[in-house]
Structure 1
């Protein structure tokens, strides 16, 4: 019999029942892959993160992410949730400035953000961004998303972007149009699988909120999730896209505040910093978290 510590953490929020909930299993060294998948299915959250020893000299932990249906290479909000557990329950914030997590795609450093000695957020540096074209008619994409073709914002291209996994980024003119989206989930899942896309991410600069730079919404039926409330990976990929497509000035550092989850009554907020570097921009996605459940799972 195994007794496994398990946490339920709301990420990208400082209020319980907001943001995006993730499962965190911080002591997964004795678990098999099948047990990890079973735990993720049992918790039935969009993603559950599992931590165990890393063989890499440059990493503090190995981390894997499972949806209720399958393993994925990277998940932003589950990374934020895991780092929050390490900082608050395993005292990492008291003895070091950051941890480095080894994902399937590469190393992800996560640092603590403190005010007057109190942890207020954690910030992860995502993998270098890259973009790719998608050979699909924009009108067909709009139809799959349940929006009008006229809702698409033609100032910006529809593209795939990646800071860990691939996302399809769809520019939309208004927040109202994004909130009204009613995707054809089965057909959207089939299209995403053809391109190895994890999620389809709608975004707009027309946020109706002076405190937000961008408003987004994320659909991910290809990985067994209808909609994810607040997505660190997709919004990091969005920031990389904005930089690589020349929407952001490549000579300046940019601090973006992004809102998501409002359409699901789980509002959350991400702070994304884009810093120019010689070869590629550094994308840092930060947010706070709230532990809502902690306990033990018996296997």
Structure 2
């Protein structure tokens, strides 16, 4: 048997058993894609991250890959946060102020701040969704009058495409009961990673928004706290002119409460000379450290 280290980390929380759990395998150099997929299925969390030596070593400290129980994911925010936490707390990188990770979608810079670990997002992109509002509402299990029609349903990207659905109240967000079979089919047809419900009725002190995230197309019915989707949401809010674009702007998003795993995503939109920079992040807690035994 080959033995490899594996960690279970709760991301976007400072309290164990909150936030979003991810698996982290810090040495995956000798693992095939097939074996990584099998490990992710066995771990059975929304994502497991695998660290490898980067061939682009002059620009990146590591290569990172992500697998859900069913397939490889191009980018995953909470697993990136969890992996960086393990590097800093378990693997001797606590003297570093930043770590750069090579992903399938490009280089992601991770840095330490007073808010915890922050990750710089890719520049956001928006596009229209080829589905009418009535169909979207049916897919997510809500009513038309639940939708906050001050804002548009759109697709947003900072590494994965997410369908963003504005909702009037937290009560409606928590009441949503998606038709997972049809939502999965819809998202696969439209190259959508997750469907992300958001409301400004957060009812959480210090939080601007409250969200829920559904990802049946990648084998996850509901993700507790979603880094990539909330990063895409930040880009949407900025590009749609919903949050200020003339100054730096920071806020917090609450997610996971419906699943009993409350988490908090810190968002920073920083103005630059040429374009804004988008960062998301938070804290993390290691709950399991163990050994995975793999047949040779």
| TM-score normalised over the length of structure 1 | 0.96
1:36 is matched with 36
1:281 deviation in Å? Answer: 2.2
- Name the SS of the counterpart of 2:21 in structure 1: strand
Query: Which ranges of structure 2 fall in alignment gaps of 5 or more residues?
Result: none
1:9 is matched with 9
Tell me how far apart the structure 2 counterparts of residues 273 and 244 of structure 1 sit (CA, whole Å).
Answer: 14
| Matched ranges for 1:115-134 at <5 A | 121-134=116-129
- Structure 2 counterpart of 1:137, from 128, 132, 138: 132
Instruction: Indicate whether 1:65 and 2:66 are aligned.
Output: yes
1:113 deviation in Å? Answer: 2.4
Assess if the C-alpha contact under 8 Å between 2:211 and 2:253 holds in 1: yes
| Matched ranges for 1:42-81 at <5 A | 42-56=42-56, 57-81=58-82
1:100 is matched with 100
1:159 deviation in Å? Answer: 0.2
Q: Which runs of 4 or more aligned residues in structure 1 lie more than 2 Å from their structure 2 counterparts after TM superposition?
A: 276-281
Tell me how far apart the structure 1 counterparts of residues 151 and 274 of structure 2 sit (CA, whole Å).
Answer: 23
Bigger Cα displacement from structure 2, 121-130 vs 178-187: 121-130
Tell me how far apart the structure 1 counterparts of residues 167 and 229 of structure 2 sit (CA, whole Å).
Answer: 16
Tell me how far apart the structure 2 counterparts of residues 194 and 5 of structure 1 sit (CA, whole Å).
Answer: 37
Tell me how far apart the structure 2 counterparts of residues 11 and 210 of structure 1 sit (CA, whole Å).
Answer: 20
Tell me how far apart the structure 1 counterparts of residues 266 and 220 of structure 2 sit (CA, whole Å).
Answer: 24
Residues 178-206 of structure 1, C-alpha deviations (whole Å, 9 max, x = no match): 00000000100111111100000000101
Residues 60-84 of structure 1, C-alpha deviations (whole Å, 9 max, x = no match): 0000000000001000000000000
- Structure 2 counterpart of 1:227, from 222, 228, 240: 222
Tell me how far apart the structure 2 counterparts of residues 176 and 268 of structure 1 sit (CA, whole Å).
Answer: 18
Assess if the C-alpha contact under 8 Å between 2:204 and 2:254 holds in 1: no
What is the alpha-carbon root mean square deviation over aligned residues? Answer: 1.0
Instruction: Indicate whether 1:293 and 2:288 are aligned.
Output: yes
1:117 is matched with none
Tell me how far apart the structure 1 counterparts of residues 276 and 131 of structure 2 sit (CA, whole Å).
Answer: 28
Assess if the C-alpha contact under 8 Å between 2:63 and 2:101 holds in 1: yes
Assess if the C-alpha contact under 8 Å between 2:49 and 2:79 holds in 1: yes
1:276 deviation in Å? Answer: 2.4
